[in-house]
Amino acid sequence: MTISQDLFARAQQSIPGGVNSPVRAFNGVGGTPLFITSAQGPFTFDADGNRYIDYVGSWGPMIMGHNHPAIKQAVLEAVENGLSYGAPTEAEILMAEKVKELVPSIEKVRMVSSGTEATMSAIRLARGFTGRDKILKFEGCYHGHADSLLVKAGSGALTMGVPNSPGIPEDFAKHTLTVSFNNLDEVKAIFAKYADEIACIIVEPVAGNMNCIPPIPGFLEGLREVCDEYKSVLIFDEVMTGFRVALGGAQAYYNIIPDLTCLGKVIGGGMPVGAFGGKTQIMDYIAPVGPVYQAGTLSGNPIAMAAGLKALELLSVEGLHAKLEAKSKAICEGFEAAAKAAGIALTTNYAGGMYGFFFTDQDKVTTYEQATQCDLERFKKFFHLMLEEGVYLAPSAFEAGFVCSEHSEQEITDTIAAAQRAFAKL
């Protein structure tokens, strides 16, 4: 028995499923989750003393690699002054100013403590601002686990085959309309039907919770036009894509301006942080200036602000995102070539610092339906073979992969060589 197996058995006695977030349990791939003891740069170490090249990166936050010395130092310095005050600090202003500088569509921003809080609050704000109840989301997109958003959700819910969770009243779910990602005709049809009842569209501008599916040309542009026509709020959920696909997020990469943006993961440098922001006209609709209530005891926590600010400062370096994209591209091209040589059907997608690969003979995957039709058994085998090779991929065929600034050419080459050997054994 490995130490991870031992810990997993023990964890299950006290924690539901042995984990504090479902996808960590390896439900999608079977076997025992790794119990992590430390992580440094591009590597993660488990309780059995194994080292892995890590493409999970805490599910996205570790864009500068694990335990970056400058981020660690900023946290240590902030800790000297106390852990939380529940009162305003200058660090919050610095954070807001930095976010506005990097994501110009954001004129005002509010900090929260998770991506779920960011999307949940943005939806409430959009509903309050428009006076409408219905929201539109896309099948396979995940926006956290707030009730209205856990309807046909992706990520852990999709992996486990329970897209509509019990515990969500039908009366809530009925206000969530769901259409196909990358299908503008369906969006137009549903707006034609519900016209001025739809408060907002919420979308992952690059879908990262049904593997990695970028928008097809014209899709995001079309969403912008529809929202303008029907006076609906366009919300980009950039919890995953923010500061990753490009410095200014997917909205900079694709040059589309949303009304509201949700941020998370990278913005906290590894601390529990999220944020939502956008046009002043809409943001000033929240309390204490406006009537829509939103709050948080630990929002803008000084330690989290210190970590996040340092992370944003480090990743603002010219050329960093081009390098991240070059790594995503190298992995995708390397995997495709290695799979082809082994006679395995595989296609890939990438955008900036996120990528995905699909076991399928389709040329390109652009829809949720295509993603779910891929060979999941093959993915499971590949995942475990890569783990044996010392490469830690996301333990689900429905998650994007993440590269970080600390993945060197050596790690990328080693990863592709590991994939070559794994494909040969499939």
Of 59 and 181, the one with the shorter C-beta distance to ligand PMP is 59
Q: Is 109 within 8 Å of 308 (Cβ atoms)?
A: no
Q: Which residue stretch of 201-209, 215-223, 324-332, 345-353 sits at the interface with ligand PMP (rule: CB under 6 A)?
A: 201-209
Q: Does 119 bind ligand PMP (CB under 6 A)?
A: yes
Q: Is 282 within 8 Å of 260 (Cβ atoms)?
A: yes
Q: Is 177 within 8 Å of 134 (Cβ atoms)?
A: yes
Least separation in angstroms between residue 255's CB and ligand PMP is 20
Cβ atoms within 10 Å, residue 225: 15
Say how far apart CA 388 and CA 194 lie, in whole Å. 51
Q: Does 143 bind ligand PMP (CB under 6 A)?
A: yes
What residues between 214 and 243 interact with ligand PMP by CB under 6 A?
A: 237, 239-240
What residues between 60 and 99 interact with ligand PMP by CB under 6 A?
A: none
The interaxial angle of helices 302-315 and 90-102, nearest 10 deg, is 30
Q: Is 65 within 8 Å of 53 (Cβ atoms)?
A: no
For residue 420, the number of C-alpha atoms closer than 13 Å in the C-beta half-sphere is 11
Q: Which residue stretch of 4-12, 94-102, 202-210, 227-235 sits at the interface with ligand PMP (rule: CB under 6 A)?
A: 202-210
Q: Does 402 bind ligand PMP (CB under 6 A)?
A: no
Active-site residue, from 98, 134, 137, 265: 265
With CB under 6 A as the contact rule, the residue among 43, 142, 357, 359 that binds ligand PMP is 142
Note if 279 is an active site residue: no
Q: Which residue stretch of 142-150, 219-227, 306-314, 333-341 sits at the interface with ligand PMP (rule: CB under 6 A)?
A: 142-150
Note if 265 is an active site residue: yes
Q: Does 374 bind ligand PMP (CB under 6 A)?
A: no
Q: Using CA of residue 415, residue 419, residue 425, residue 426, what is the dihedral sign?
A: positive
Q: Is 119 within 8 Å of 146 (Cβ atoms)?
A: yes
Active-site residue, from 52, 142, 253, 392: 142
Least separation in angstroms between residue 155's CB and ligand PMP is 6
User: Tokens representing 113?
Assistant: 């403590």
Of 91 and 263, the one with the shorter C-beta distance to ligand PMP is 263
Q: Which residue stretch of 138-146, 251-259, 283-291, 376-384 sits at the interface with ligand PMP (rule: CB under 6 A)?
A: 138-146
With CB under 6 A as the contact rule, the residue among 105, 114, 148, 261 that binds ligand PMP is 114
Of 115 and 215, the one with the shorter C-beta distance to ligand PMP is 115
Q: Is 289 within 8 Å of 127 (Cβ atoms)?
A: no
CA 97 to chain centroid, in Å, comes to 23
- What binding mask, one character per residue, do residues 244-283 give for ligand PMP by CB under 6 A, x or -? --------------------x---------x---------
Least separation in angstroms between residue 141's CB and ligand PMP is 7
Say how far apart CA 32 and CA 29 lie, in whole Å. 9
Position closest to ligand PMP via CB: 115
Least separation in angstroms between residue 153's CB and ligand PMP is 10
User: Tokens representing 100?
Assistant: 């506005």
Note if 72 is an active site residue: no
Contacts of 319 (CB under 8 A, 6+ apart): none
Strand intervals (E) in 116-193? 134-138, 176-179
Q: Which amino acid is at 129?
A: F
Q: Which amino acid is at 217?
A: P
For residue 21, the number of C-alpha atoms closer than 13 Å in the C-beta half-sphere is 10
Q: Is 320 within 8 Å of 304 (Cβ atoms)?
A: no
Q: Does 209 bind ligand PMP (CB under 6 A)?
A: yes
Active-site residue, from 237, 285, 375, 392: 237
Least separation in angstroms between residue 9's CB and ligand PMP is 26
**List of residues contacting ligand PMP (CB under 6 A):** 59, 114-116, 119, 142-144, 155, 204, 208-209, 237, 239-240, 264, 274
Q: Catalytic positions, please? A: 142, 237, 265
